[in-house]
């Protein structure tokens, strides 16, 4: 099985407007923390999520969060 790539061991703090987004689950995207299609052939799929309030969000960079796509500080334990 192909392993997740840890994009970074901290969150990506991003300002998001209302809308639908796709978080990179595999860690291979060059457009972190968002999907750019680099998962093709890996068995991973991006995580679709909707934002209903425009503000800053902390999205997971290590890809091991239990609260996808949001950071839960799992990166501090890996």
| Position 1 pLDDT exceeds 70 | no
Mean local confidence (pLDDT), 56-71: 98
Average pLDDT rounded to a whole number, residues 30-57: 97
Interval 22-36 mean pLDDT: 98
- Give domain status of residue 64, yes or no: yes
49 domain-assigned: yes
Within-domain flag for 5: no
Could you tell me if residue 55 is inside a domain? Answer: yes
Q: Domain count of the chain?
A: 1
Domain assignment of residue 31, yes or no: yes
Q: What is the mean pLDDT of residues 22-34?
A: 98
* Neighbouring-strand partners of residue 77: none
CB-based burial label for 38 (10 Å; 0-12, 13-18, 19+): middle
The strand pairing partners of 50, in sequence order, are 20
Please check whether residue 6 lies inside any domain of the structure. no
pTM metric for this prediction = 0.94
Instruction: List, as one string, the DSSP characters of 37-65.
Output: STTTTSS---EEEEE-S-EEEEE-SSS--
* Assigned domain for 51 exists: yes
In a domain, 27, yes or no: yes
Whether the pLDDT of residue 14 is over 90: the answer is yes
Domain that holds residue 26: 12-77
């Amino acid at each position: 099985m192909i392993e997740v790539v840890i994009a970074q061991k901290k969150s990506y703090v991003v300002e998001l407007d209302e809308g639908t987004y796709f978080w990179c689950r595999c860690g291979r995207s060059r457009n972190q923390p968002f999907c750019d299609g680099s998962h093709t052939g890996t068995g991973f799929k991006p995580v679709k999520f909707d934002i209903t309030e425009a503000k800053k969000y902390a999205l997971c960079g290590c890809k091991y969060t239990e609260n996808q796509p949001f950071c839960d500080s799992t990166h501090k334990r890996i």
